[in-house]
Amino acid sequence: MVISKKYKKIGLFASIITLAVGVAAFDDDLFQISKNLDVFASVYKEVNINYVDDINSAKLVKTGVDAMLDGLDPYTEFVPESEIEDYKLHYVSTQYGGIGASIFVRNNKVYVSDVFEGFPAQKGDVHPGDQVLKINDIDLTAKNNDQVSLLLKGSKGASIKLLIKRDNIAQPFEKNLVRDEIKQPNVSYYGMVAGNMGYIKLDKFLENSASEVTNALVSLKKNNPNGIILDLRSNGGGILQEAVKIVNLFVQKDVEVVSQKGKVKDKNFTYSTVSTPLEPNLPLVVLVNSHSASASEIVAGSLQDLDRAIIIGQRSYGKGLVQQTFNLPYNSLVKITIAKYYIPSGRCIQELDYTHRKDDGSVVKVADSLIHEFKTKNGRSVYDGSAIYPDIFIKQEKFANVTQALVGKLLIFDYATLYRDKHSKIADTKSFGLADNDYNDFVKYLADKNYNYTTSAEKVLGSLKTEATKEKQFNDIQGEYDILKAKLMTSKKNDLQAHKDEIKQVLENEIASRYYYEKGRYEVNFKYDKELAQAVKTMQDKAQLASILKGEGNYKVIGKPMLAMAGKKAADKDSDDDQ
């Protein structure tokens, strides 16, 4: 096609205008940036010079920057030099020098809450429930968690002295330990469960998480498993590239896993599988809940979109945003949301719309009218803007108020400490359980303990009294109110028996950890885990397995907005009932 000289001139003129407008807009952006920085610096200078009292200038800047970023999203944040190490532990690698124990403070006293198998505290016979009086002769009275953690940490190979008080020993005693490199694994547990299924619990997607999952999978494959269960419940995410590598363990080479798209074109990128999968054929289930976020959703969503895995549990968190860190002067950094991510069907699962806030600044969910339908590899319907909805939804059970009170008041913890002092050993984790006489001993232990709590029925009754009093009607119903309140109190006295099964569950969990550490918690809890049981059942039912992945019958549509919202409302109602 030939273009005349006249039209070439017009086109050239239009290009020059477009370029001029672009340059003008760029110059205006530069002016606004320069202007705003000048204003900020001037305000900071005048406040520092003229404010009536002395001020902490570093804190002032941090507050100002935080306020500036607060209107964006909760993931865009400034990290000053003083917080860099904590940031790295949280987002990069949980590796530090220490003794391998966690602590908590109660009534200005420091107690050991957990010890990790294979590290100095466990090797030195430090127990959960021990009170730590001093660290290297420094009195810990009234010190907070951060202060105590700082004293516990140090360089690998350095000595540390603890003065410990234990309930069943009359006098405090010293423990001399040597700090070691503490690296908390991403994979906190793996092993074989019912039905000869391989189980992997992945807690986070930090450095080497894909390598750890690979090692776990290689080990499990030696048992010729009938299927694999990848547990991502309460996994808040981490490094995107680690998620892609984990997907690649189960998906063929050269398959798109996730793409990120943002304002800056250089930040746009598509991640695909790059190697032959370790296990492309075995049945696969991924467990998720409302705290599975970000990289967890990339793994679960990609495997769902590719019809490679069945997702079981509750709807995930709904974080479809990607962050990148940028180094700043003086060893500080800023973490900025640079893109949204899109999984293989083309959907972005971001649930909250931070761009279009209400006038009061509050954030709203993506409206149902803006949610779009997408298709998985086999043609199943999935939806954007509403997290990852499971193929099989399992209602999350909430502990009763009495159970929450026993845990919150540390009575479960304290009884486990006493139990460990009285019993030198227990049965192996897969057969351990509390007999009725053991539970009755616990009930007797509670006889003189304070664990006041309010039941849901009591809350409703209290609201009734409040509203009736406002309407000046309470005197008319007080007789019935008193009778109902008395009945509720009588019923409440039976709560320890009515909720015996779940109280036994948390008791067994805590007691098992005193002998078998974190591994004990997992293995004792398997028999109570409904999502795990459903995963085993589903993979054993080959017909159901095939129906779900092919999208037959009720499995053709996954999490349609109306259904997803209903599931979310039901979950929210359960949460409200437990407040």
Model confidence at 26, pLDDT cuts 50, 70, 90, reads low
CATH dotted code for 187-396: 3.90.226.10
Cα 509 from Cα 418, distance rounded (Å) = 15
According to the model, what pLDDT value does residue 236 have? 96
Task: Say how many CA atoms lie within 13 Å of 348 toward its Cβ.
Answer: 17
According to the model, what pLDDT value does residue 27 have? 60
DSSP characters over 250-300: TS-TT-EEEEEE-SSGGG-EEEE--S--S-SSS-EEEEE-TT--THHHHHH
According to the model, what pLDDT value does residue 24 have? 54
Tell me the per-residue pLDDT of 264-293, one tens digit each, with 9 for 90 and over.
999 999 999 999 999 999 999 999 999 999
3-state class (DSSP) for residue 145: helix
E-strand stretches of 33-100 = 77-79, 95-98
According to the model, what pLDDT value does residue 259 have? 98
According to the model, what pLDDT value does residue 33 have? 83
What region does 201 belong to: left with phi over 0, alpha with psi -120 to 50, or beta? beta
Task: Summarize the confidence of residues 229-252 as an average pLDDT.
Answer: 97
**CATH of range 95-183; options 1.10.3720.10, 3.40.50.670, 3.40.50.2020, 2.30.42.10:** 2.30.42.10
- Beta bridge partners, 374, equal 382
DSSP characters over 424-461: S----TTT----HHHHHHHHHHGGG-------HHHHHH
Packing angle, helices 500-525 and 401-408, rounded to 10: 60
Query: Is the model's pTM score more than 0.75?
Result: yes
According to the model, what pLDDT value does residue 218 have? 98
pLDDT exceeds 80 at position 571:
no
Handedness of CA 241, 246, 249, 250 (dihedral sign): negative
Task: Summarize the confidence of residues 48-61 as an average pLDDT.
Answer: 89
Q: Using alpha carbons, list the distances in angstroms from residue 359 to 103, 345, 370, 420.
A: 43, 34, 20, 56
More confident position, 337 or 430:
337
Cα 151 from Cα 573, distance rounded (Å) = 43
Cα 152 from Cα 101, distance rounded (Å) = 9
Task: Summarize the confidence of residues 116-136 as an average pLDDT.
Answer: 96
Tell me the per-residue pLDDT of 483-517, one tens digit each, with 9 for 90 and over.
888 888 777 889 999 999 999 999 999 999 999 99
